[in-house]
Chains A and B, each alone.
Chain A
Amino acid sequence: GAGVSQTPSNKVTEKGKYVELRCDPISGHTALYWYRQSLGQGPEFLIYFQGTGAADDSGLPNDRFFAVRPEGSVSTLKIQRTERGDSAVYLCASSLSTAMNTEAFFGQGTRLTVV
């Protein structure tokens, strides 16, 4: 595709519910990253994939958060039993490789609001 696509752009959910956020990376990009950004802060790393496997999930805050990339392209970030503190913008990025000698391109983000 022309760029990284994230859906939905906005999601409002009730506390305790389950949500899925989708990321469609640039075609041919093997590396995919998820970040979370709170108001007034820089993006905070959550997890990245090289192909289908999660190469580093050290940024996931707890076991309510999980991400998959079953075919090495589209990725889904899943949040169980959502809490109000999960409210943030979730950003996805992709790059040609995880060596990070290549430029990372970001999507427009999904704004998650937990009420």
Chain B
Amino acid sequence: KQEVTQIPAALSVPEGENLVLNCSFTDSAIYNLQWFRQDPGKGLTSLLLIQSSQREQTSGRLNASLDKSSGRSTLYIAASQPGDSATYLCAVGTDKLIFGTGTRLQVFP
């Protein structure tokens, strides 16, 4: 059974810091991995999708990497801003998405 773990569960950093969020999964037989952002009381916003054949994807200040063989993905956020404060969820995709429990990020001015 696929299990997805995210570390840390919560993170508080000052504005401007570069930070790394971690995601690990137990079964490497995945189609893709997707990172989402969730603001309080809101739905999920897709940030990045990495296909199983890819190693990384970039969008603006965000960079996500995937090491399928070791069951790991990282989301790198450069020059963090208070507007980045949210919960970040990773999900591994087979025929459906299996989610981790998320990392709650707070960026303070």
Contacts and interface: CB of A to CB of B under 8 A. Distances in A.
Interface residues of B, number: 25
Nearest to B36: A106
Nearest to A58: B96
B99 A42 contact: yes
Contacts of A105: 46
Contacts of A43: 44, 89, 91, 97, 99
Size category, A interface: 20 to 34
Contacts of A91: 43-44
B31 A100 contact: yes
Contact of B46 (A33, A55, A56, A103): A103
Given A43-B44, A55-B95, A56-B95, A104 B34 contact: yes
A48 B93 CA distance: 13
A33 B31 contact: no
A93 B45 CA distance: 11
Interface of B: 4, 31-32, 34, 36, 41-46, 49, 51, 89, 91, 93-102
